[in-house]
Every structure is written in structure tokens, then in C-alpha cells.
Amino acid sequence: MKRSKIFLHPEKLNQITKDSYENWIFDLDNTLYDINLGLFQKVSERITLYIMDKLYLKKEYAERLQRKMFKEYGLTLRGLMLEKNIDPDSYLDFVHNVAHPELEVDSQLKNFLKKLQGKKFIYTNASKKHAINVMDGMGITDQFDDILDIKGTNYVPKPDPRSYKTMISKFKIVGEQLKRTVFFEDTAKNLKPAKKMGLSTVWIENNFNHQDYELNEKFIDFKCNNIKDFFNSISLDI
């Protein structure tokens, strides 16, 4: 299947400029970098190891539990906390204790981010330590005003609406500002609560996230297969 770079509302994209939004909010994993780098796969393998170790499970059973928890709770950690009494901090330290030498400084993305007016935030279901690790590797840490991680939402993950309430409160987004806020995500269902609150939404497509998209298409304003395609398509220099 041949995919165009941007295939939802391209006509509206041209109207977006660097100061169209007061708040630019970004998911981290598989949104700011390409899923094909395999970062998340490494984390996922460490989650399996953690479950094997803590719950004395063979790999096959650990993987099955991991998939089940992710499906039911939107975040494996959330399920493990509620059903297996797992300590979140030890979990996060373990699963994100991995180097990412494949990450390279992304000067092009940095330049795009630099041009954006308004505030820029990271909103992730992972830990702040992981977010900074990844952003440092990409050379973009200094481009962001604040980070909200899973600890900051009291371990309530996206797409739980309570997580979004914490998010807008932490980032101090009130009233009409919601309409001047855009949120970028590769997990389509995480865009639904944002859209319901009045935010604009951008979905980053990859080869593995289509099923979720089909169910949440109506909550998505724009889609593209790389975040830099989005910035390339809007009017950043005006």
C-alpha cells in the first residue's frame, strides 16, 4: 500500500502557522522518533523480564500477562499495580534502564520545534527519566517547557480522562486556550479524550497502529507518518 505523507485535511494544514497554537503537546515514544528504531521493543522486552522475575513466570506466560494488562488497562504498569501489587518506581527504573545508542541528534526536528511559538510539552505514559534520556539522545531536551510523566498523573495513564485533567492543570491550560492547543500521538485512542476537551489532534501513523485508528478516526484532525512531515506541511516560516 502506498501511503501519502499527509492524507487527512491537507487543505487545513496550509492554514496552520507557527503561532496557530498556544500549546503544543507531544507524546514521546513512537511519536517524536520513528517506531522502526526499535526503542520501544527493547523496553517491552525488559517489561517481560521484570514480570518473569517478580511473578516467577516463564517467558511465555509473562508475555501473555503483559499483553493482557496492556489491552485491559492501556498501560501494562497500571494493570500490574492494580492486579499484582507491583511497585511502580522499581518497575519504571527497571524497564527503562536501557541505553539507546541508535538515537541520533535530530537537528531537523529541533529546528522545527524552535520555530514554534507558544509552549511545548511532553505528555507520556512512561517515566520522566526515560523521556529525558530519549530527548537528550535526540538533542531536543531544551526545546520543551515541561514534562508530565506517569508518576505525575499518579500512575493513571492515557487514555483515562483523569490523566488529561491532571495534564491541563499541570500545563495551566484553561478555558479558551484548550481550542488553541494541539496534541500529537501515535496511539489513536489517546487522542479521543483530548479531542473531546477541544484540543486539535494529530495522529502519527506507523505499521502497527491502524486497528486503533479505525476505532478513533473521528477524533483525529490530522494524520501523517512522521512528525516532521507535519511540520514540513505547515507554514512555519510565516
* CB nearer Mg ion, residue 43 or residue 57: 43
Cα–Cα distance between 9 and 25 in angstroms, integer? Answer: 20
- List for the chain the helix, strand, coil content (%; round to 5): 50, 10, 35
* CB nearer Mg ion, residue 27 or residue 106: 27
Q: Contact positions toward Mg ion, by CB under 5 A?
A: 27, 29-31, 186
| Shortest Cβ 44–Mg ion spacing (Å) | 12
| Shortest Cβ 95–Mg ion spacing (Å) | 15
| Shortest Cβ 75–Mg ion spacing (Å) | 11
Report the Cα–Cα distance between both ends of the chain, in Å, rounded: 34
* CB nearer Mg ion, residue 29 or residue 149: 29
88-94: list long-range contacts, CB under 8 Å, 24+ apart: 88/150, 88/151, 88/155, 89/151, 91/50, 92/126, 92/127, 92/129, 92/130, 92/150, 92/151, 93/127, 93/129, 94/46, 94/49, 94/50
| Shortest Cβ 187–Mg ion spacing (Å) | 5
Q: Which of 61, 43, 41 is nearest to 51 (CA)?
A: 61
* CB nearer Mg ion, residue 52 or residue 66: 66
| Shortest Cβ 31–Mg ion spacing (Å) | 5
* CB nearer Mg ion, residue 52 or residue 187: 187
